[in-house]
Amino acid sequence: MISGAAILFDLDGTLVDSTAVVNRSWRRWCAEFGVSQEAFARVHAHGRPAAELVADLVPADAVDKALRRIVEIEVGDLDGVVALPGAHALLDALPADRWGIVTSCTAPLARARLDHTGIAPPVLVTASDVTRGKPDPEPYLLGAQRLGVAPETCLVVEDAPTGLTAARAAGMRTAAVLTTHSPADLADADLLTPNLTGLRAGPYRDGVALTAC
């Protein structure tokens, strides 16, 4: 068990399955902007903000247009985006003022996926809110600030190494779900579980707790 004042969740791959639409959208985007799949594979890492990927793949004077286009494509395609098993039950077990979501999605994309899956976080931090995305700790530090708790008292649930790196750099304890990466990739998490159905969450003393079950 790990306990703290509040819990911050990653979105894609942690609470929501968007893998099919992400792959479909980026293939379409690459075709439109003349980017090879090999070039995309070299820079892509799950959890990296789209702005960083785009900046690595197109000339500087095309970045703004290219970023707007990938957001447009992804927001317009929600086919197959679903809440992962156990997500709603886990969130429903938490006090409403004790959790939030920290995602590398832009604000429009995050809102679209959250609305589509019926998840309503009391606190949301997106790539639109920060200057440096994961693996930098800035997104998680902002999440703690918006929840009104000290970073070192926050717990984080993640599925990607970049997210775990960001959380640890923010001084937070972590739980990892094996939905997108291998146990070896996530071995430094404080808790490791196959998916959200293997976690129990709820009030604990003056905060919240996560337990692997």
List residues with catalytic annotation.
10, 12
Closest CA to 51 of 160, 136, 145, 151: 136
Closest CA to 99 of 196, 213, 203: 203
List Cα–Cα distances, 74 to 21, 69, 92, in angstroms: 7, 9, 27
Q: Under a CB-based contact definition with an 8 Å cutoff, are residues 121 and 96 in contact?
A: no
